[in-house]
Structure 1
Amino acid sequence: MTYDIFLYLALGAMAGGFINGLAGTGTALFALGFYLVVLQPITAVFIVAFMSVLAGLQGLWIVRAEILSQPKRLLRFLIPGLCGVSLGVMLLDHINAGTLRLAIGGLLIVYGGYFSMRAALPAFERPTPWLDSLVGLLGGILGGTASVSGALPQMWVSLRPWTKSETRAVLQPFNVAILSTTVVVLAFKGAFDATAQTALLVTVPLGLIAAQIGIAVFRRLSDTGFRRLLILLTLAMGLGIMASELF
């Protein structure tokens, strides 16, 4: 492994691990650009998904009480989301994934830009179990077709006046479950090769350390601060999707 490869892998691992520890999402947004410089796309996506799952398991531990206290809320998102992944993969032959990613990117930019400039955040308090399930299903479908499973759930939960731990107790396990499915699928497609194994020797320890730093910062955020962070990440995700498709 050359110094340049090591450097890009290390930077990606630290950036992706930190944001996962901080927000419970966004690993691909911050890490994939580094990995794609030195790895083939399928290997880069595999590494990002694998790292997201490992870092996500640490994040799950800090909100375990909230997950266990409201399991039905999580399952409303998670079960439809897992079903949606299979539907998304089936739709791959009938949908232009690039066009879909552009549309989602535009939606994220409009949403994130609008609420980033508002002094008061939205406060959608009414229970909406059917809408929650629909968002989870659409998130899974978008994960299977365009690799953006967390986009809609992230937008939706940032509208809710939940505590930061309650919000994370939905987003983190949702992302871990969807990305675990992605890891298994990519492994069956041969992504877990010698190159990936070597890259993981660098990315795993650095990513886990960076995730712990992110978790430490998360603990210091207020509930409102965390919601604003998710909205800013939504804007950044939209810009990242648009850039990856247009340039």
Structure 2
Amino acid sequence: MLTLSAGTIALVSLGAFVGAVSAGAAGFAFALTASAIWLHVIDPVRSALLVVASGGLLHTILVWRMRAMIDRARLAPFLIGGLIGVPIGVALLTVVDPLVVRRMLGAVMVAYGGYALLAPALPHVTAGGRRADAAVGLVGGMMSGLGGYSGVPTTIWAQLRGWPKERARGVYQPFILAIHLATLVLVGGLAFDRTSALLLAVTLPALLVGGWLGYRLYGRLNERQFQRLLAVMIAVSGAALLL
């Protein structure tokens, strides 16, 4: 059983707060920012479980607040692919080194985030239709099973689709919530114990305060500022995964 020292509690709370601010403002990156801190004091499996449990609570609150933005027709193919991908990702946990996955994902995110910040304009991908959306959802589901990183592929894809901020969040944030819950169902029975419950309780105050602050920031952003925030969050989160 993990010892919940004062230092562990402080870092778990800090990770939850920073992750909640990120998710409140950008609609994603909770898993990336929180786990970058949590992995210093929590093992990878427990960290992934805490990501999907606490992230699920946070995204439930945020999705409820923005429920009018949800585009169910656009969301559907992502969900279908994602729900197929989750058990694949969970199965890969036993055969894939999580550190290798983190570093590969981090490198891709740093490269994309840097490009998105420096390029005059991002390319707009219009090809592929719903099949391409489902394929991105599949990858997101697999990444959730591997470490709770479901938001990365869908957020990048929403940018490449050229969707405005409300349409983008109306797709990828409910997707993250649904895939977190599916991952929790599959992984929770394997690792959720008394210590996990205590860790989840520790995150609650930080989740509420951080999510509130982040959502207030989101309301102040125009389209260009929001797209730049996404690029910065992707690059910074990727760099954190490389550490």
Letter of the 1:129 counterpart: R
Moved more, 92-101 or 55-64: 92-101
Partner of 2:74: 73
Partner of 1:5: 8
TM-score normalized with structure 1 length: 0.86
Indicate if the aligned counterparts of 1:158 and 1:231 stay in contact, CA closer than 8 A: no
Residue deviations 1:62-91 (CA, integer Å, cap 9, x gap): 321121xx3110011111111111233344
1:157 matches 2:128: no
Partner of 2:213: 213
Partner of 1:39: 42
Indicate if the aligned counterparts of 2:33 and 2:237 stay in contact, CA closer than 8 A: no
Q: Give the superposition deviation at 1:119.
A: 3.1
Aligned residues: 240
Partner of 2:232: 232
1:53 matches 2:59: no
Q: Structure 2: how far apart are the matches of 1:103 and 1:33?
A: 15
The percent identity for this pair of structures is 33
Q: Give the superposition deviation at 1:153.
A: 1.3
* Gap regions ≥5 residues in structure 1: none
Residues 13, 148 of structure 1: alpha-carbon distance in 2 compared, 3 angstrom cutoff:
closer
Q: Structure 2: how far apart are the matches of 1:122 and 1:84?
A: 27
1:21 matches 2:24: yes
TM-score normalized with structure 2 length: 0.87
Indicate if the aligned counterparts of 1:60 and 1:173 stay in contact, CA closer than 8 A: yes
Q: Give the superposition deviation at 1:135.
A: 1.0
Partner of 1:196: 196
Q: Structure 2: how far apart are the matches of 1:92 and 1:199?
A: 22
* Gap regions ≥5 residues in structure 2: none
Q: Structure 2: how far apart are the matches of 1:41 and 1:89?
A: 13
Indicate if the aligned counterparts of 2:48 and 2:147 stay in contact, CA closer than 8 A: no
Describe the SS at the equivalent of 1:148: coil
Q: Structure 2: how far apart are the matches of 1:225 and 1:41?
A: 33
Indicate if the aligned counterparts of 1:6 and 1:202 stay in contact, CA closer than 8 A: yes
Matches within 5 A, 1:98-113: 98-113=99-114
CA RMSD, Structure 1 to Structure 2 (Å): 2.3
Q: Structure 1: how far apart are the matches of 2:150 and 2:242?
A: 16
Indicate if the aligned counterparts of 1:139 and 1:152 stay in contact, CA closer than 8 A: yes
Q: Structure 2: how far apart are the matches of 1:93 and 1:40?
A: 14
Residue deviations 1:10-42 (CA, integer Å, cap 9, x gap): 212211111111112111222223323333433
Letter of the 1:205 counterpart: P
Indicate if the aligned counterparts of 2:123 and 2:160 stay in contact, CA closer than 8 A: yes
Residues 109, 6 of structure 1: alpha-carbon distance in 2 compared, 3 angstrom cutoff:
closer
Q: Give the superposition deviation at 1:107.
A: 2.2
Residues 20, 95 of structure 1: alpha-carbon distance in 2 compared, 3 angstrom cutoff:
same
